[in-house]
Structure 1
């Protein structure tokens, strides 16, 4: 597929893991609002949970997550006490009306928890909330945390999908991002998971890191493929030192430019496709029989704060500092500072700091942006059926884009508005054309590829 090249300044855009995006959340949504949203959940609804562990035992310089480095376990143990309280508070507000069908543990590094604490956390969850017997349970894993007892603990809590952070196997790149991790040890962790019948493996890889070249990225991809994961997430490194100060430790002069990033992403994607994986959206790949590939083939792919997902559940409740909840009515985010979060939940309340309630226009634009990010197209008839009058203005915007005399970003194919194939790697910039909030405030974004 021919790729359009960059000219002039590198293009930036939100990642669109939500719409409106997080910079537009505000303090007008607080604990009382979310209590009312929880009370309005329909009886019998299936929901998802996200639990955020805000600690790491080493600080990776590339990371943009809400986390803190600690060499002592005491703060982690203290945090877990508060997390247990929050779980019980949310369970009380839900009143047993819902069923949890999916759990995702992220961070930070949830695998730095001691094995007994991992088991206890799951016990508190199961004692407090109705968790389906066949619930999917996924955990983000730092392979360097792993040992036999931790692997046993993950098996004991019913882990169904493991997501391993790799980033890159080149020692020079690893030193430049403070993430030294050998291929051999990573392979042993994958084997340890599979021996315990945790068969669904995702590998997280990055391009655009310091000292990476197209050749070095390709070498890492081939090593990763030798582990035969079910999924691969190939993210572009987001260099946002104004947001995450520790990224200033990365030598900017060693970062590839926009043209090089696109070349790395394109080459890596081709190697993965040739290995038999299906391309999913802009940065995920899956074996054809994986549920993510099946969802994509049926137009059921979704996008949330963890990236592309086959999770069809409308409600996602976030637990832990900085975690984001998604309701039909809007988004809500917990306090990011761990100490302030603990103080709020220890008093028996919610730790909501900000969020946004959705208008009809927000819902329609969110759907269009999600479909563009997932399918590179959206249907005007489906938009009208779902959103009525709220869709008309957006359809008009798409028609105007399609009628552009030079370099239209969208074309018309029957009922569909379709992103030009050459622009698919840059679909974030196309989605941004439908973002009614973009340009408000002072939010800055990472490169669009």
Structure 2
């Protein structure tokens, strides 16, 4: 049955559901004026998270799906940070209160492309303009190949609690095929520097489905990475969308595995990490049993946002930087994507909002169902619908996608509760899509479901 499900659902291009509705549904009808109104509704008691996007790297990894710019010079980075500081001021001036910050996440690109003093100053500005809370998390994405001892020390001094390191694959054949050469020693050195600086939460990112990747090389990478004892792993399937990310055309499509082999690679990595003592969380995350992510999963308090699975329960996320996405209880907003256009908007004294989405009551209902499915592999649709004032029958009865999944034995549908078997977790995105009212829009922008 498993092979049949992979063949039927694995090739479908579906969202990762880090939000609902997903970004392709955002519209320019929600602009800076709307976002300003939403910001003004924030009060001092509001608990919020911050996301800062640093869209620069020194070289392009051909698999990359992020918004990033390649530069060998520091001037564009310095100019961008200046605009970022200005945007922080604009947003804070528009905010109705000084919210309590629970999480800060620096994404990229390569956030540590900044100089140490620039990072310290940026953290200092955030502390001055927002109310940082005790026990809050500050997370930074890092390229181990370029992390200097000075930067590692600066991260510790600034109070960074978690670092996410890109590993992807240690197989040199795969590395050459994706233009990312990174040996195990570089990664181990980065981990040692971070821990010595006081950054105790370490995440590793791995990718399967890459060109020339094999099940054996996936297992070897997972075992080597696990020996460095990071607290968490995120294991993603490579999303090949060269029509949108033109640098992906440099990847030989003939060397990419099919859906069945991708599923085999994912399960082999899962087996290796579980054998090393990690707990499987959601679709693609793993954590040591005592890690806060594992505890949240066991207690049914796991959440999902643009960084993947998280303990962050805040409904307000303030995004800064080019392409950054934010959220308030009213809806989503996204900044201008090109750094130049973003800078023009900020330099003119305007919020950089390019598009967004105003949530409806039904959107909030469907978002909760999808989040619970993605986090727990189970959703009590009847109970969730009742909380939102809706009739569950309207979501379940006549739902062709759900009926097909039930008929195929992929789910157990009883009394309005949808449950996905653990050995069928690889098709969870297809189950979530059964509750997505906008699923037929822009399907080609999403990655394969398995």
> Aligned-pair distance for 1:10?
2.0
Residue 276 of structure 2: aligned partner: 275
Q: CA–CA distance in 2 between the matches of 1:323 and 1:46? A: 19
Q: Deviations over 1:94-153 (max 9, x none)?
A: 244311111000010001111111111111111222222432100000011111111111
Native 8 Å contact 2:402 2:431 kept in 1: no
Counterparts of 1:318 and 1:309 in 2: how far apart (Å)? 17
How many angstroms apart in 2 are the aligned matches of 1:359 and 1:183? 48
Measure the CA separation in 2 of the matches of 1:320 and 1:310.
23
Name the CA distance, whole Å, in 1 between partners of 2:414 and 2:371. Answer: 19
Q: Which residue of 2 aligns with 1:289?
A: 290
SS in 2 for 1:388: coil
Cα deviation, residue 381, structure 1: 4.0
Q: Is the 8 A contact 2:45 2:100 kept in 1?
A: yes
Pairwise CA distance, 1:416? 2.8
Tell me the residue number matched to 1:199: 200
- Contact conserved, 2:5 with 2:410, CA < 8 A, in 1? no
Offset at 1:390?
6.0
1:109 matches 2:113? no
**Residues 210 and 347 of structure 1: is their aligned pair in 2 closer, same or farther, counting only changes over 3 Å?**
same
**Matched residue, 1:148:** 149
Q: Using the TM superposition, name which of 374-383 and 183-192 deviates more.
A: 374-383
Which digits, 9 at most, give the CA deviation of each residue in 1:51-78, with x for residues without a partner? Answer: 0001101111100001110111100000
2:237 matched to which residue of 1? 236
- Alpha-carbon distance in 1 for matches of 2:413, 2:209: 33
1:371-382 to structure 2, matched below 5 A, reads: 371-382=372-383
**Counterpart mapping for 1:49-448 below 5 A:** 49-389=50-390, 391-396=392-397, 401=402, 406-413=407-414, 416-441=417-442, 443-448=444-449
Instruction: Answer whether contact 1:364 1:390 (CA < 8 A) is retained.
Output: no
Distance 1:334 1:404 in 2: 37
- CA 213–37 in structure 1, closer or farther in 2 if over 3 Å, else same: same
Measure, in 2, the Cα distance between the counterparts of 1:144 and 1:97.
37
Aligned residues: 449
Question: Shift of residue 288 of structure 1?
Answer: 0.8
Partner residue in 2 for 1:32:
33
- Answer whether contact 2:49 2:104 (CA < 8 A) is retained: yes
Distance in 2 separating the partners of 1:402 and 1:30: 38
1:14-25 equivalence runs, <5 A: 14-25=15-26
Are the structure 2 counterparts of residues 308 and 35 from structure 1 closer, same or farther at C-alpha, using a change threshold of 3 Å?
same
Q: What SS does the corresponding residue of 1:389 show, helix, strand or coil?
A: coil
Deviation at 1:408, TM superposition (A): 4.1
CA distance in 2, matches of 1:384, 1:268: 36
Provide the C-alpha distance between the structure 2 equivalents of 1:188 and 1:260, rounded to a whole number of angstroms: 32
Unaligned runs of 5+ in 1: none
Question: 1:442 deviation in Å?
Answer: 6.2
- Give the C-alpha shift of residue 257 in structure 1: 1.2
What TM-score results when the alignment is normalised by the length of structure 2? 0.95
1 CA distance for matches of 2:242 and 2:224?
30
Distance 1:132 1:284 in 2: 26
The RMSD of aligned alpha carbons is: 1.9
Residues 404 and 318 of structure 1: CA distance in aligned 2, closer, same or farther (over 3 Å)? closer
SS in 1 for 2:163: strand
Q: 2: CA distance between counterparts of 1:178 and 1:403? A: 41
Moved more, 390-399 or 293-302: 390-399
Query: Do the aligned partners of residues 397 and 278 (structure 1) sit closer, same or farther apart at CA in structure 2, a change above 3 Å counting?
Result: farther
2:6 maps to which residue?
A: 6
Pick which of 236-245 and 87-96 moved more: 87-96
Measured at CA, do residues 447 and 441 of structure 1 come closer, stay the same or move farther in structure 2, by a change above 3 Å?
Answer: closer
Distance change in 2, residues 1:48/1:201 (3 Å): same
- Give the structure-1-normalised TM-score: 0.96
Whole-Å separation in 1 of the counterparts to 2:88 and 2:227: 39
CA separation of 1:306 and 1:325: change in aligned 2, threshold 3 A: same
1:43 positional shift: 3.5
- Shift of the 397–297 alpha-carbon distance from structure 1 to 2, 3 Å rule, reads farther
Assess if the C-alpha contact under 8 Å between 1:300 and 1:310 holds in 2: yes
Deviations 1:164-202 (A, max 9, x none): 000001111111111111101110110111112211110
